[in-house]
Each structure stands twice: as structure tokens, then as C-alpha cells.
Structure 1
Amino acid sequence: MDELRQTYLIKKYIDGTATQAEREELLLWYRQKGIDDNSWPYLSELDEAEAKERIFKGVKRQVSDTPSARGRTGTLFYKIAVAASVIGAVCCFVLWRFAQKEVAPALITISTRAGETKTLQLTDGSVIWLSAKSTLTYPASFKGPTRDVAFSGEAFFDIAKDKQHPFIVSTGSTSTRVLGTSFNISALKENDNVTVALITGKVSFTGSKTAVSLLPNNQVVYNKATKEARVMPIADIDAVVGRHNGYYEYKNIPSKDVAEDLGRLYGMNIKVVGNVQNCTFYGRIKPGESPVKFLKKMAFVLNASVTTKDSVWIIKGGGCNLK
């Protein structure tokens, strides 16, 4: 059981919202592993006090509402004993937390706006290049058996090797698990697919209905709606690697998709109208190159025109230039 799952189950147990199956899973883990290396799910005494109060009221109500408890002193005493044991378990968790004098590592969230990129180095030595309109949430320091982060958007990951502590990237309904490798993830909220392209190492990808392993130079494309995953070779490794260095290459890409990508990367509002939407485009924009100049070149290649009004760039035309 990874650390996020442990914390989730402990918190639900204390809140009194855990199902019978979740309580049994937590009990099994506790028997096998103990709780010495786990982080406490509450970050303040107030949270803990509120949790204890909720579970106490819930158990008290359970006892008073049980028909077998009314008028049967022995049963009532038994119910009270059960209630006391549950509350005692909560108190043991609280005492353990203060004895450890350890608070779960603070979570840090880094986001980028349209037209903005950032490079991060985590405490384990991993380096992550965040593309525009992306968000990464990670702990200030990694503790426990796994290194867990949450992510949305697009980023290139170069993960430090640590065979004892897998690195797990969660993107909503999917997770990517590695020991030490480099890969690119595209998990934009507005896109239908999550794509993981592996450059070096090995990756285990898990979705709602599927689990696959990737080898270098391959990618998995996961459809959010159908929950299906397809594994295929990466058509252009250099194009994938180049993106985090500011080289954006498009080969046989629909013009509207190119416009959407450029708009996110450069913080521009670009619209493609008319038959030119059906055209595909080949082209490359380099670091430092003017995106406006690139748009004009793109319009020329597609036999279209480009105009601007109220900060909106419009590409329109009658069709594609087949020459």
C-alpha cells in the first residue's frame, strides 16, 4: 500500500466515513507494517479534535439507536465498551502523532500560465520542465515508500533513480509509476487523451480499466472517455524531447490543433475559421522566434490569410495549398 492510500484510509477511519472493506484493509496493513513510517493525515490539533468529536458522536448515536441496546444492560455495556475501544484507537493515533513530533511534509503547488514555462528540481534530484497552463503538486520532502506527485498539463520529467522508492505521477484517473527515467506527459484538461511518451527507462501506466508497461521510444495514449489505452511507437523522438527546450515541431497536424497549442504556449488567442480547419500543417518554431511571424508563415503554407482584431488572431482561407 503506498503512502497516499495509507493517509487516505487513516483519515477516513478517523472521520468515521470508512467502509467495512476500507477498515479491514487498514487493519491488515497495520498488522503487517505498523504505523511508524506513516505520516499523520491531520496537520493541526483542531483537525484532530474535530475528528474525535465526530466519531464520538457517531458511535454514541449508534449505541442509543440500536434496538438490542434498549432495556438490555449487558448489551448496552458491550456497546459502550466497543465505543470506548474505537475512541481509544483514535486517541492512540493522536498520542502516536505527538510522540513522533512529525508533521506530514507540506505540499507545494506550482502552476504556469498561458505563455509561461518553469523548471523545477525536487529534493530527490528529479528535474521537471513544466509547460504552459500546467500544475504540479508535490511534497516539500519525500517520505515513505513512494515519491508521489499530482499533475495536470504538459511536462517533461527526468526522474532521479531510486529503486526503493518508486516515483508516481497521478493525473486524475491515471498514474505513471517509474523508478528512474525520462518521459513526457501530456494531460491537458481540455484534451480527450492523456499521452505518456517514454524516452529512457521503463514506465508502468495505469488507467481506470487498463495497465500497461512501456519501453523506450514508445508511448501510451489513454482516452479519458472510453478508458481505453493504445501503445504505439513514438513517431518523432526529437520532436518530443525538443518541446521542453522550446522547439515546437508539427508534422501532419491539423491546423486547428496547431493553433490551440501555439495559443497555450505563447499566451495568444488564435482562431482558425473556414475550410482551412481541415488542412494539416508541417512546420517548426524555434526558441526566440516570433510566434506572429510563425503564424504568417503557417497561413501562407495553408493558402490562408492571418488578421488580428482585439488581440485575437484569425487564420482563414478557402483551403490548403497542395503545392
Structure 2
Amino acid sequence: MNKYKDYKAADFLQEEGFVSWLKEPLGEDKDAQFWNDWVSHHPEYYDEIQKAKKMYLKIVEPEFEDFEVVRAKDRVKDRLKSSIIQHQVGHTNEMNEKASLGVWKNVTRYAAAVAVIIGTIGWFNSSEISQFFDTNLVSIENNRSHSTTVLLSDGSSVVLSPNSTLKYPKTFDNDLRKVYLEGEGFFEIAKNKKKPFIVSSENVTTRVVGTSFSIKDFSDGENSMVSVVTGKVAVFTEEASDKDILSGVTKGEILIENQALRLNNASKQVTMMDNADHISSTFTFVDAPVTYVVDVLEKFYGVEIIMDRSKLGSCQLNATLLDMSFQDKIKVICQAMGYSYRMEKNTVILSGQGCP
């Protein structure tokens, strides 16, 4: 059970372990390990964690001389008290008694958070805090009635289902490619053995190197599902650190092509099953008109592909477009047709002279 389910920024700041982690987010103590793992498995709290971090940095001052510590704490208290009153109370004379009581409850929550912070302040490096939090995650929320495709910097693609959210870094600069999913998505991962790919969702964590698979994991869903189309993945149904997952200390359930895993989110019971693979047939083309292939890609990925159809005539394609990203599929078509392409958000523009 998630004890932090209804937590806001001020609530997190009342947790001593959380504040200790803010002081040393790159530390190796149990607080750092716990909160690093917890945050990585709960991307839906990213905004509240960011707010907590900003509040924390406003309250503390990173460089104190020893003899100034006592005076500094007093200054922090005074500054915070003033900030809380300005931020939370505002025009109290315009509020009725009931509203004022609600505001006062919020003030006391912030005051309690400050008490915890002041009680745990020590020497720290604020640049370390920024280094951990400033991850520049891009957040894509699909509120449409149809799927949309998200292209990642490494060439991987994600078909994001309606009512689903994907968070990911602008670029994968480290030795690990990691994204966060709330809801449902179909992943086609660019192969890179030196940079494993991890998808963190509400109830499962999935590790791959290069493959195609789907994840369905809504926070309020009865079951979570991981289905493999090509390649192999490891699925972890218990919380584990990235380090333990990558090193093999924590073992996951291995799924190969055409296998699926279903997790009952209440009982945590895991069921292995065969995956009814409709995608393989979807992307297998024999003497298929190129216009038909383009229509299939448009429908599946939720993108628009612009081209001069009159030039294609009776052009046909023989290809199996599996185990590759959306962008690689476009490249195969262009290579066969002697075309070039460019991408603009969710639009692909093909240009060329027609059949070679």
C-alpha cells in the first residue's frame, strides 16, 4: 500500500527521511536509497517532489559559518513565517470563517514541514540537490480519443494510448535509458546493448535491450499487463533499485516473443500466458501497395504521413517491419522507394519520384 498516496509537497517535507534525502540525494544511506527508489517508481509524484525541492531550497541557506548557525535558523524561521502568511493567507479579510480555518490548516502543515527541515539542516551541497532533481523530463499526456506516437532521442518510439502519460528525458546522456509510464503504451526500442532500457510504471518495472512490447499499467487498474511481440524483456513486480535490476541482484520474470505477464495489483499474483500476437501480421507485407502500407502506419501510430500518392502508382512493398522502431520502418520504405523523409512532430513528409 502506498502510504504517500495523498501527499502534497508540504506533507513530504514533514518526513525526516525525505528531508535528509534532499540534503544528500546522492548519498548511500538508507534514506537516500529508499527515496531514490521510491521516486523512480512513482513518476506521478514528480511535480509535488519538485515543489517540495523548491520549498526546501527557499528555506535553507547552503553556506553557513559555524558561529552563524543559530542566527541563521532564526532568520529562516522569520523568513518562512512571513512567506507562509503572504502565500497562504493573502486577503484573509475577504474570507469567511470556514475558509479561514481551511487556510490555517494549510499554514500549520507548512509550519510543520519547516520544523522538520530546520531540525535536520546540516552541511550540504545545494548543487547535488539540483543535479538530482533537474532531470528535464518531458511529459506527454494523451488526452485524445486515439493513440499518439512519441519519438525518443535514441530512435525508440512509443505508441501512447488514450488517457496515458509518458515522461522521459530529452536525451539519454547516461548509461541507462529510463522512461516513466502511467497507463498503456506500445514500445519499440532501438537496440543498444551498452544502454539498457527501463520502463517504470505503477506496479511493474520492465527492462529491455532492444525489442517491441506493450505495457498496460493504470494506477487504478485491477490488473497490469506486459506483452512481448519481439525480443525478450525482464519484468519486475516488486520495487527494486535500477542498480539491482541491472546487476541481476533482483530477478525478474523473463518474457520472450509472444509471451505475456498479467499481475493482479491487489493480490500481486502473477500469471504467465501466451500473447495473441496481432502485430506480427499487421506489419508483414507481401506485394502490398505502398499506399496501403502508409495507411497501416498512420492508423497504428496515430501520425500523418504526407506524400504525393499520384507518383506511387502501382508501387508495391515486400517487407516484414517488425523488431524496429517507427522511424526505422519509415527508413525501410524510403530505401525501397528511393524516397527521402523528414519529421515534424507527429507528421512525416515523404518526397521522391515514385517507384525506382
TM-score, normalised with respect to structure 2: 0.45
Return the structure number with greater strand share.
1
TM-score, normalised with respect to structure 1: 0.49
Q: Which has the higher contact order (CA 8 A, sep 6+)?
A: 2
Higher Rg: 1
